[in-house]
Structure 1
Amino acid sequence: MSGLDPVQTAIFVVFFFAVWFLPSLLAIFFNRKHLGKIFLANVPAGLSWIAWVALLVWAVTGKLSGKLAKKYESQQVSAS
């Protein structure tokens, strides 16, 4: 007997891919505009922690960057 339970193996595989593609999953909610780019970059980025974390930040800051840009524009208009 090999000691590998098929249920545990399936759970591990699902968990592994969920973590690997976490930036893409977060981009669905936070940065839909760049979802395709994030997904394509996510495939090789999983091999590098630095690239994976950078994608995670990019995926989460999508709506935030838009809000900051609008706030900056409104401050520029009111300062004029």
Structure 2
Amino acid sequence: MLTLTGGKGTAVLLRITGVEHITRDAFRFFSQAVTITAFAVLGSTPVDRVIAHGRRGLPMPKCPSRYFSDEEQALGWLPTLNTPAG
């Protein structure tokens, strides 16, 4: 991600449709990412929603995050938050 963004902060659309499990390590890694300015989590099933909200005691991301079932809404929400830090 740092290579793609040149080390600058960026918003992320995280599509979880079809995902059955996210490891604690993977969730912890993304929750602690300091270059991510916002997470729009996109899913389409009740299972996706549970995975998106089921942090199982892990810390919340250090940036705004929100679950969406509509890609247009998710993409529309991201630019309002995608402002460079400092």
TM-score class, shorter-chain normalisation, is under 0.3
Rg comparison, structure with higher value? 1
Structure with greater strand share of residues: 2
Structure with greater helix share of residues: 1
